[in-house]
Amino acid sequence: MKRWIAVILAAAMTLSLAACGTAGNTSGTTPPSSGGSQGQAQPEGDFKGTVKVGHLAVISGPDDYLGVPTTAAMQDYLDEVNANGGWLGYKVELVTYDIARGVEEVAPAATKMIEQDKCIAILGPTYSAGATSAQPVVTAGGVPLIALSATNAACTVNEQTGEVYDWMFRVCFTDNYQAEGLANFLIDEGITKVGVLTCVTNSYSVGMENLFTEIFTNAGGTITRTEGFNENDIDFRAQLTNIGATDCEAIFFPATNIRYGVLAAQQARELGIDVPFVLPDSVYGNELLEAAEELEGSFVSTGLIDDDPAYEDYRADFQAKHGMGANMFCYYGLDCLMLLEAAIKEANSLDSADIRAALDDIQDAPVFTGTLTIDPATHNPVDKAVTIMTIKDGGFELYKVFDPKAK
Domain that holds residue 183: 175-302+386-406
Query: Is 381 within the bounds of a domain?
Result: no
Residues 289, 311 share a domain: no
Is the predicted pLDDT of residue 157 greater than 80, yes or no? Answer: yes
pLDDT band at 113 (very low <50, low <70, confident <90, very high): very high
Is the predicted pLDDT of residue 40 greater than 60, yes or no? Answer: no
Residues 62, 153 share a domain: yes
Residues 199, 80 share a domain: no
Residues 151, 22 share a domain: yes
CATH number for the domain harbouring residue 34? 3.40.50.2300
Query: Is 401 within the bounds of a domain?
Result: yes
- pLDDT at position 43: 59
The arithmetic mean of pLDDT across residues 193-208, rounded, is 94
Query: Where does 287-326 have alpha helices with state H?
Result: 309-322
Cα 324 to Cα 67, 259, 348: the distances in Å are 12, 18, 36
Contacts of 85 (CB under 8 A, 6+ apart): 12, 13, 15, 16, 17, 42, 46
Dihedral sign for Cα 341, 342, 347, 352, please: negative
Residues 267, 392 share a domain: yes
Strands in 25-108 per DSSP E: 50-57, 91-98
- pLDDT at position 383: 79
Residue 309 and residue 325: Cα distance in Å, rounded? 16
Q: For 348-357, write each residue's pLDDT tens digit.
A: 999 999 999 9
Query: Is the pLDDT higher at 52 or at 174?
Result: 52
Residue 211 and residue 154: Cα distance in Å, rounded? 14
Query: Is 361 within the bounds of a domain?
Result: yes
Residues 16, 110 share a domain: yes
Query: Is 377 within the bounds of a domain?
Result: no
Are the CB atoms for 195 and 252 separated by under 8 Å? yes
Residues 212, 180 share a domain: yes
Residues 124, 257 share a domain: no
Cα 84 to Cα 257, 321, 367: the distances in Å are 37, 21, 18
Residue 334 and residue 338: Cα distance in Å, rounded? 6
Residues 135, 257 share a domain: no
Q: Count how many domains the chain has.
A: 2
Query: Is 198 within the bounds of a domain?
Result: yes
pLDDT band at 33 (very low <50, low <70, confident <90, very high): very low
Is this structure's pTM higher than 0.75?
yes
Query: Is 380 within the bounds of a domain?
Result: no
The arithmetic mean of pLDDT across residues 76-86, rounded, is 97
Element spanning 402, H or E = strand 395-402
Query: Is 59 within the bounds of a domain?
Result: yes
Residues 111, 187 share a domain: no
Residues 338, 258 share a domain: no
Query: Is 378 within the bounds of a domain?
Result: no
Q: For 321-355, write each residue's pLDDT tens digit.
A: 999 999 889 999 999 999 999 999 999 999 999 99
3-state secondary structure 233-260: CCCCHHHHHHHHCCCCCEEECCCCCHHH
Residues 343, 296 share a domain: no
Helix axes 106-115, 128-141, angle to 10 degrees: 30
Is the predicted pLDDT of residue 309 greater than 90, yes or no? Answer: no
